[in-house]
Structure 1
C-alpha cells in the first residue's frame, strides 16, 4: 500500500440557482425543485440530476499516513461550497496521496471538476494530466488504469458497467457495517434543517466503509500481507473508539463482523 492514502466521499444537493439559470426558470425554491426534477425525468428517465447541478454540501475524508489516521469533514455548516472545495483541493498542493473512492471516477471527481470551474478555482495538483508535471502523464488522478486514484467500484467490476455493485451491498457482504439503520438519502433534509452532525456522520460512514473495502482489496492484490491487513483493521477500530460520533458504526460493525468467517475475530470476545 502506497502512503499516504486519502479515502473520500462527497454529498450533494440540487443547485437550484444554477438550474433556474440553465433552464430560464423564475419560480420559488420549492416549485423550482419540483420543476427541475420533472425536467430531468423527462430528459433522462431518472431524477438524478446532471453532474454540474450537484451542489457540494459536504466532503469527508480519511487520511492515513505513517503517523496514523484521521477523519475529517468540510461541510456547509461553516463553509461555502467554494471554501469546501478550496480546503479539499489544497490537500493535493501539499501531498500527493493515493486517492480512494467508490464511484469517484463517474461521480465525485467530475462533480468536483464542474463545481471548481463554476467557482473559478484552479486545481492542477488534482487535474493535471502531464501538461504541467510531465510525470503525471503516466500516473494521474483521471486515468482509470493508473494507480493514483483507485475507484473501487470501477476496479472491482473490472471496468465493466454490468458488474457495478452498491457500496452498501459490498460492505455488508464483506462483514462491514454498510449504511447504519435507514439507508435512505436524506442529505437535502439534513441541510434544510441544519442537522450538520447527521450529514457529516452519514458522509464519514461511507468513507469508512470504502476504506475497509480498500484494505480487503489491497489484501486481495498482495499489496498488504495478512498480518498488516489485520493491524490496520485493529488500528481503525481503536481510532473509532476515540470518535464518539461513530459509536453506532462500531456497534453495527461488531455485529456484522460475526456473519463471515474472515471477520469473525475482528472484535475479540471479552473473557471473564
Structure 2
C-alpha cells in the first residue's frame, strides 16, 4: 500500500440556480426543484441529476500519512462556500500526491469536482494533469481507469465490468462493516436545509470510513498488506475512532456488525472496547 493515502467522498444537492439557467426556467424557488426533477425524468428516466448540476455541500476525507497517522476531516457548507470547499480539497494535491481512494469516484465524485471547479473558475492541475505538465503523470495519473494513483474500489472490485458494480452499503455489510447505518443520501437536503451540519459531516465521514475498511480488505486480497498488517491497520483505525466523538455510532455499529463474519469477529477482542 503506497502511502500517503487519501480516502474521500462528496455529498451534493441539485444546483437550482445553474439548473434554471441551463433549462431557461423562470419559476419561484419552491417550484424550481420539482420542475428540474420532472425534466430529468423525461430525458433520462431518473431523478438523479446530470453530473454538472450537482452542487457540493460536503467533502470528507481520511488522510493516512507515511507514518500511519490518521486524520479524519470534513469541509462543509457550514463554514465554507462551494468554491472554498473545492479550494481546500484541491490544495491537498498541490502539496502532496496521495494514493486517492473512493467508491464510484471515477464516475461521480471526480467528474462532479471537475465540473464544479470549472464552474467556479478554479485550477486543479495537480489532480487533473495527464502528463501535459508533469510528464510522469502520462503513465500514472488520477484519471486513467487502470492506474492505481486513484483506486475506485467499486470499479476495480467489479473487474472494470459495469454489470458487476455493487453498492458501498451492501459490500460494507457483507464484509462485516457498518454501512450507512440506516441513513441514505436522501437525507442530505434536509440536513442542509435544517443546518444539521454534524449529521451531514458524520454521514459523509461514515462513507469514507467504510471505503477505507474495504480498501484495507482489498489490499489484503492483492497482497499489498500482510494479514498481520491488516490487523494492525484495523486496530489503529479503531483506536483512532475512539478519539472521534462524532463517530461513536459508527464504532458501535461496526462492533455489532463484526460479529456476523468469522473474519471481522476478531476486530473487537472482548477487552478492546
User: TM class, shorter-chain normalised?
Assistant: over 0.9
Equivalents in 1 of 2:185, 2:4: separation in Å?
Answer: 32
Partner SS state of residue 182, structure 1: coil
TM-score scaled by structure 2?
0.98
1:128-147 map, 5 Å: 128-147=129-148
Partners of 2:53 and 2:184 lie apart in 1 by 23
The match for 1:124 is 125
Partner of 1:77: 78
Shift of 1:185: 2.1
Bigger mean CA deviation after superposition, 16-25 or 173-182? 173-182
Structure 1 residue 184 displacement after superposition: 5.4
Match of 1:265 in 2: 266
> What count of residue pairs does the alignment treat as equivalent?
271
> Which residue pairs with 1:18 in the alignment?
18
2:179 paired with 1:200: no
Give the distance between the partners of 1:69 and 1:160, measured in 2 at CA.
32
Question: Is 2:52 the counterpart of 1:58?
Answer: no
Partner residue in 1 for 2:245: 244
1:168 counterpart residue number: 169
Give 1:157's aligned residue: 158
Could you report, residue by residue, the CA deviation over 1:195-221 in whole angstroms, capped at 9, with x for unpaired residues?
Answer: 000000000000000000000000000
Rounded Cα–Cα distance in structure 2 between residues aligned with 1:99 and 1:75: 20
- Name the structure 1 match of 2:28: 28
In 2, Cα distance between equivalents of 1:118 and 1:107:
16
Aligned mates of 2:265, 2:197 — CA distance in 1: 34
Q: Kindly tell me: are residues 4 and 184 of structure 1, through their superposed partners in 2, closer, same or farther at Cα, counting changes over 3 Å?
A: closer
**How far apart are 1:181 and its partner, in Å?**
2.7
What's the TM-score once normalised by structure 1's chain length? 0.98
State the distance in 1 between where 2:185 and 2:94 align. Answer: 35
Residue equivalent to 1:9: 9
- Counterpart of 1:264 in 2: which secondary structure? helix
Q: Distance in 1 between matches of 2:233 and 2:66?
A: 12
Gaps of at least 5 residues in structure 2 are: none
DSSP-derived class of the 1:70 partner: strand
- RMSD of the TM alignment (CA)? 0.9
Whole-angstrom CA distance in 1 between matches of 2:199 and 2:40: 28
